[in-house]
Amino acid sequence: MPEISKAYRILVAHFSQESNRLNPRPADEELFVVERGRDILRSPAGVLKGLTETLVAAGANIEPVFSANGGAGGLVDHDFYLRMREELLGAVRRIKPDAIGLDLHGAMGTTETPDAEGDLLQALRDVVGSKVPIGIGLDLHGHITRRLLDNTDICIACKENPHTDFVECGQKVAELLIQQLEGRLTPVTVSARVPMILPGAGETGSGPLAEIHAKAREYAALHPSIKDISIYNVFRFTDDDEIGQVVTILSDGPSADTSSIAVDLATRFWVERERFKDDLLTVDEVFERVRSSPDKRPFAIGDMGDRVAAGAPGDGTILLSAALDGYPGLRGAVPITDPVAAARAIEAGVGATVALSVGAGFTPGFTPRLVTGLVEYVSDGNFIVEGPVGEGAHSAMGPSAVVRVDDRIQLLLTTTPADTTDPAAFTSQNVVIGNLDFIVVKSGFHFVANFAGLATPVLVNTPGVGYYRKHQFEFRKARFWPEHDIANPEITARQHSISTSLG
């Protein structure tokens, strides 16, 4: 990047959570990892890392406000959201930055609004006006609304699922912000939306998504004015009236071509819609595979219905019960969110034998399981994510205990829903993955990258609020294929520009 002409003051913050409205437990401060001020620069991860490191390297002065990371969970408690919003707006009023760079998810909803990022960006814009560039880096599962785009100069998604490129996403936001500040970029974004979700096949490395991303890269290479094409696959548990697949194209100045390119890419989703299907195994098929394939052990079993990574509570017991009752030879590790059982195990202490009812404390329809086991390990539940997805992020499970049941199943009991996408969730609790035949993870995509070389990934069709099934849940506002009968939609492009050319 060329030298910059002055040391711009750039306010940065990270406020991220993916909100599953079907999880009955609102996400309040207890479910967020919050750091403030320069603490957030000690070991930043993801978009925040790429953003801040690139800005510093360019010679900008960064003004860090906070990092509030809620992972995935229920809708964010609106009062907590408002407090964080006010803290951010207060910092903006005080610091009067030249630009703002944010690490957001894009699918945060609160108990009052399904479009928290849109609300946040509109509030920021109301404070700074149109002359202060705002750049954001998002998860590609963002719910991208008109309000969000109308209030943002630079809006970039990661391109990979599993999300191994968050750092690059943050770098790109920083580079484009600097270019805009220097008058070398007049960002104009066009968007096109298709009213559909992806019922499956959400990985970007294969299948129809890989083809659409390849086409996007081809278009970007052919048009020098295109600085970014982002493709958003939306979060399937958001209930809002602008639900859909969204393609955004950011160009330097208005472009004659970007509208038709956005429409073409969005139309490809509709044309290919029947190909977006997952291939999940039943619970019995999964355990039969574990039993019959010793050379592939350990298996990492993605518990799709109870995916904490998709905002489910993580309190399912169906895989635990299947392993205990049907597969007596297998050794495994199973995480379960249960603050009461975790507290009882911790109180009993390492070496004690405890009888516990575990799980089913949050998800409607789940059944608790009675177990007796030996408390092997207790901890505060904090660990650092090894990655590549989320590398370096601070993760918190709350006070946690490992209880060994039937001398072969290690139950990881956590106070808050544990992000078990990463092996460190287990190894930090003294669980030795190599000694096991299977390990249950509450993730559908990212664990494949983070367990590579350690375990064979497999996805299991389990009940719960972490997996979309047609007509399983009620949508009040959202209208989309395949939940609703949607005739061939008219796909059009919309231009969003902030008029913040500073050149």
Please give the residue ranges that form the binding site for Zn ion (CB under 5 A).
139, 141
The residue among 98 and 306 lying less far from Zn ion, judged by its C-beta, is: 306
The residue among 141 and 442 lying less far from Zn ion, judged by its C-beta, is: 141
What is the separation, in whole angstroms, between the first and last Cα of the chain? 17
Sheet strands (E) in 380-477: 382-384, 394-396, 400-405, 409-414, 438-441, 456-460
Beta strands at 409-414 and 400-405: parallel, antiparallel or unpaired: antiparallel
Q: Which tokens sit at 449?
A: 């990258």
The residue among 240 and 437 lying less far from Zn ion, judged by its C-beta, is: 240
The residue among 162 and 423 lying less far from Zn ion, judged by its C-beta, is: 162
Q: How far is the CB of 374 from Zn ion (least distance, A)?
A: 37
The residue among 139 and 175 lying less far from Zn ion, judged by its C-beta, is: 139
Q: What is the DSSP letter of 394?
A: E
β-pair partners for 207: none
DSSP string, 248-280: EEEEES--SSHHHHHHHHHHHHHHTGGG----P
DSSP string, 331-377: -EEEEEE-HHHHHHHHHH-TT-EEEEEES-SSSTT---EEEEEEEEE
Position closest to Zn ion via CB = 141
β-pair partners for 493: 192
The residue among 141 and 404 lying less far from Zn ion, judged by its C-beta, is: 141
Q: Compute the half-sphere exposure of residue 15: CA atoms within 13 Å on the CB side of its CA.
A: 30
Q: How far is the CB of 138 from Zn ion (least distance, A)?
A: 9
Q: How far is the CB of 309 from Zn ion (least distance, A)?
A: 8
Q: How far is the CB of 246 from Zn ion (least distance, A)?
A: 14
Q: How far is the CB of 140 from Zn ion (least distance, A)?
A: 6
Q: What is the DSSP letter of 470?
A: T
The residue among 101 and 202 lying less far from Zn ion, judged by its C-beta, is: 202
Q: How far is the CB of 421 from Zn ion (least distance, A)?
A: 11
The residue among 140 and 402 lying less far from Zn ion, judged by its C-beta, is: 140
Q: How far is the CB of 482 from Zn ion (least distance, A)?
A: 20
Residue 339: exposure state from Cβ atoms within 10 A (0-12, 13-18, ≥19): middle
Q: How far is the CB of 21 from Zn ion (least distance, A)?
A: 16
Give yes or no for a contact between 307 and 313, defined as CB atoms under 8 angstroms apart: no
